[in-house]
A and B are shown apart, each in its own frame.
Chain A
């Protein structure tokens, strides 16, 4: 069965970077785009971007361009999302999700807390 397992919670200081991993299993990793979505506490879902694990091609929401980098390691079927120059309002749960039409499988989420 399909699983997306994310790395654990992170605490960062403002200005630092964070890299969240998302290990996929149970399907052909290179056949489906990986999307990243974040959710601040008590808020809605915010789409950040997608990556094609086969080609490495990415597309980021304009809000995150210049600050986010999505990559992958096909040998370990792992996708990564790195967010730089963190601010307090980047505090959120970050999700990876596979896109198959809609986002059909989601990771468990990674809480990133940005605090001085």
Chain B
């Protein structure tokens, strides 16, 4: 099984500042035949279902603010929030969908400093 490890476990950032969350996979999740990284990022607010922010490591979902961006390839990935807003307080998860089981990272809790 692929293990997904996020860092840090929690993060406090001032409003308007940049937030960066890392995700490392134990195996390469870049599929060579289509040059796509099988990596997604989700946001989960208290009492809500997770929301997909980014697929294929860097493709933002429709309606997701452009302050959210994803980058990285093969085994190392990053979710960046360029200018933190109050509504971004949440837990963020990465997930690989390269091979089953489609494991999630343990989550990163983002708070306002």
Contacts and interface: CB of A to CB of B under 8 A. Distances in A.
A109 B93 CA distance: 17
Interface stretch (B11-19, B23-31, B73-81, B96-104): B96-104
Contacts of B95: 45, 47, 102-103
B49 interface: yes
A61 B101 contact: yes
B107 A101 contact: no
B107 to A, nearest CB: 5
Contacts of A108: 49
Contacts of B51: 106
B93 A101 contact: no
Interface size on B, as a range, is 20 to 34
A35 B49 CA distance: 14
B104 A107 contact: no
Interface in B52-88: 52, 54-56, 59, 61
Contacts of B49: 95, 106-109
Interface in A84-115: 95, 97, 99-104, 106-109
A47 B104 contact: yes
Contacts of B55: 100-102, 104
A50 interface: yes
Nearest to A109: B49
B97 A101 contact: yes
B103 A47 contact: yes
B103 A103 contact: no
B104 A103 contact: no
B106 interface: yes
A47 B94 CA distance: 12
Given A35-B102, A44-B107, A47-B104, A106 B97 contact: no
B40 A101 contact: yes
Nearest to A98: B52
A64 B48 CA distance: 25
Contact of B40 (A44, A103, A107): A103
